[in-house]
A and B are shown apart, each in its own frame.
Chain A
Amino acid sequence: MTARIDARFKALREEGRAGLVTFTTAGDPDYDTSLAVVQALPQAGADLIEIGVPFTDPMADGPAIQAAGQRALKAGQTLKKTLALVESFRKSDAATPIILMGYYNPIYVYGVDRFLRDAKAAGVDGLIVVDLPPEEDEELCLPALKAGLAFIRLATPTTDDKRLPTVLQNTGGFVYYVSITGITGSAIPDTAKVIAAVSRIKHHTKLPIAVGFGVKTAEHARAIAEGADAVVVGSALVEAVRTSLDPQGRATAETIKAVTDLVASLASGVRAARRVAAE
């Protein structure tokens, strides 16, 4: 169902603005709270939702998202429960695209065919699997496309013009440009470089381009939104979850509001952008 993703980007184009993509981890700090957070995201200003699938060994993630995954695993989160979370979300929201983001092993162990069937049935629209480059497309990417799920690929500063066609080949929904070489949440991206990279990628594809890794504040979001079709924020949101927890690591009355306040502020940043490269 790239239909939901395509429709959302079409609507954003018509509004003449960039979108906000949020990332939070399923099951952080517990299933119910993370579901309530996800349910509150569209109202707060999220245009697309990425849901992190916790994994013990998140090799491309920085300390914030690592810790969120550990909190979720400790609370008993599994891939099965993550699909259940999406299913619950879909009962009240049929329009907001949901993208699962994670690592391959939990999916491989769940079984690729079974996973694709269940994900589709739950209302998942796309997948980002960090450790599946185009060289391993037969594993999950091609079966996912066949099952009607978008396989969203990361393009990075090391993906040069020669490699871009390979990366873009089986990509659907949008392209996720990783704005830095590094792990999630680390450096602050250099806006001018990011915008140059986005226009470089635009020469190779008609797909919308979302930019993420390192975006933390409304001001960053505004700056990036001037050149990108969407801005992805993850580490800052899971940090908002973490700082709202009680000393035992449990959710508090503040947890959901901490996330939605930040999302609202980021959304206002994205909406304030004067877009230089609208198309």
Chain B
Amino acid sequence: MKPAPNSLRLGPDERGHFGIYGGRFVAETLMPLILDLERAYEEAKQDPAFAAEMRDLQAHYAGRPSPLYFAERLTEHLRGAKIYLKREELNHTGSHKINNVLGQILLARRMGKKRIIAETGAGQHGVATATACARFGLECVVYMGAVDVERQKPNVFRMNLLGAKVVPVQSGSRTLKDAMNEALRDWVTNVENTFYCIGTVAGPHPYPAMVRDFQSIIGIETREQMQAAEGRLPDSLVACIGGGSNAMGLFHPFLDDPSIEIYGVEAAGHGIKTGQHAASIAGGRPGVLHGNRTYLLMDDNGQIKDAHSISAGLDYPGIGPEHAWLNDMGRVKFLSATDDEALQAFQLLCTLEGIIPALEPAHALAKVIELAPQKPNDHLMVVNLSGRGDKDIFTVADHLGGMK
């Protein structure tokens, strides 16, 4: 579809701005690299061979399309909207992260880069990157906060098996934001041969737009699948927000359908009021970090605050700039779910549908539990089930007082 002139899907402008958000706030050393990347991506977008290679990998390596599944028992339980799950957890490597990684790795190959670096929180983006690097014989270094290395052990082991080097980051709060700092430091140092594979719709332009484009397959498939299942488009969309890539992937193809309600769910941690959360829209304000202007958690002096979430993948004090813009426009409504709400939703999906979700999309499910009962029975609600929960079972067991 070609967007109309007043479309919400035209952004960013040529300098990477979504309204006042986005931009290219990076050190001079990186600026030429970012301009190179932008050029290479624009060329790849025009190249049918690139698109063909992507389609082939998505179908035969990642296992796309992912199913759109009618969650019958969850629907019966909540007695409201008809709930569909977009099963991104069934992708190879267990989350939506592979969609973006395959795109960026193909791009890195086109650019002749032999060394790939990535940051990871939950480890899902790290695992996806390590996987694609193994598939294409590329060196892979993954930066991961030391706290996350501890709480997402299974993914660290997976990355090691896949031949990646995992570097535990000891600086700052030792979580995702610090991993991103360290990846940027690596990139500034190894400019010649290194490609930085960012895992979400954040960072300097062109990353937010590029990652969104690679993730948009989620929403594009959902449109077709819902048409096939129900003969019409959905009425609402719900997704969790770390940096916002799984959410943007689902939302973007629907932004110009004004009747569709769109909900992003941030992590409220111990509760927004406690200050211990990762909800940058609910509890932050505009600032500049990691190459873009967006909503950030910070103090009155502009120092970035540590985020908190039970979910390592949502434990980030910022949000992609396009989400910030859509929030200000009122097009996407941002809600938040606490650690406890996410844990309850996690268990509900396990027992009602036989699906163990990752803790990240459990936040989206937590708000579905609130929203769905308020809707009529013919309301079609799609939740992005962005990842599977194998990586989280130890964390959940800890919180529920041990395995019984």
Contact = CB atoms under 8 A, between A and B. Distances in A.
Interface in B24-65: 24-33
Contacts of B296: 105
Contact of A133 (B31, B172, B287): B31
Contacts, number: 116
A57 B304 contact: yes
A104 B31 CA distance: 16
Q: Is the interface of B mostly helix, strand, loop or mixed?
A: mixed
A73 B291 CA distance: 22
Contact of A105 (B28, B31, B190, B287): B287
Contacts of B181: 57-59
B230 interface: no
Interface in A154-193: 154-160, 163, 167, 178, 181-183, 186
B101 to A, nearest CB: 23
Contacts of B303: 55-56, 73, 106
A136 B300 contact: no
A242 interface: no
Given A56-B172, A57-B172, A131-B288, A159 B302 contact: no
In which size bucket is the chain A interface? 35 or more
A186 B190 CA distance: 12
B242 interface: no
Contacts of A154: 27-29
B189 interface: yes
A59 B184 contact: yes
Interface string B7-33: 000000001000000011111111111
A57 B289 contact: yes
B27 A60 contact: yes
Contacts of B293: 108
A181 B188 contact: yes
A144 to B, nearest CB: 16
B211 interface: no
A178 B177 contact: no
Given A79-B302, A181-B189, A182-B189, A104 B28 contact: no
Contact of A183 (B188, B287, B298, B301): B188
Interface in A12-60: 55-60
A22 to B, nearest CB: 21
B329 interface: no
A171 to B, nearest CB: 11
Contact of A59 (B31, B290, B298): B290
B397 interface: no
B213 to A, nearest CB: 21
Nearest to A156: B29
Nearest to A160: B32
A107 B177 CA distance: 20
B185 interface: yes
In which size bucket is the chain B interface? 35 or more
A75 B399 CA distance: 35
Contacts of A183: 185, 188-189
A176 B305 CA distance: 31
Contacts of A73: 303
B191 interface: yes
Q: Which of B33, B191, B288 has the most CB of A within 10 A?
A: B288
B171 interface: yes
A14 B293 CA distance: 45
Nearest to A62: B185
B191 A181 contact: yes
Contacts of A167: 28
B250 to A, nearest CB: 29
B280 to A, nearest CB: 13
A184 B184 CA distance: 13
Nearest to B305: A56
A78 B290 contact: no
A136 B28 contact: no
A132 interface: yes
A151 to B, nearest CB: 13
Q: Which of A109, A159, A160 has the most CB of B within 10 A?
A: A109
Nearest to A183: B185
Contacts of B29: 60, 154, 156-158, 178, 181-182
A135 B31 contact: yes
Contacts of A58: 181
A224 to B, nearest CB: 19
B302 A59 contact: no
Contacts of A132: 25
Interface in A55-69: 55-60, 62-63, 66
Contacts of B188: 59-60, 181-183
B288 A133 contact: no
Interface string B182-200: 0011001111100000000
Q: Which of A154, A156, A157, A178 has the most CB of B within 10 A?
A: A156
Q: Which 6 A-B pairs have the closest CB atoms?
A: A109-B302, A106-B302, A182-B189, A156-B29, A131-B25, A56-B304
13 contacts: A57-B290, A59-B184, A105-B289, A105-B302, A105-B304, A109-B302, A135-B31, A158-B30, A159-B28, A178-B28, A178-B29, A181-B188, A182-B189
Given A132-B25, A159-B28, 4 more contacts: A105-B296, A133-B24, A133-B27, A182-B189
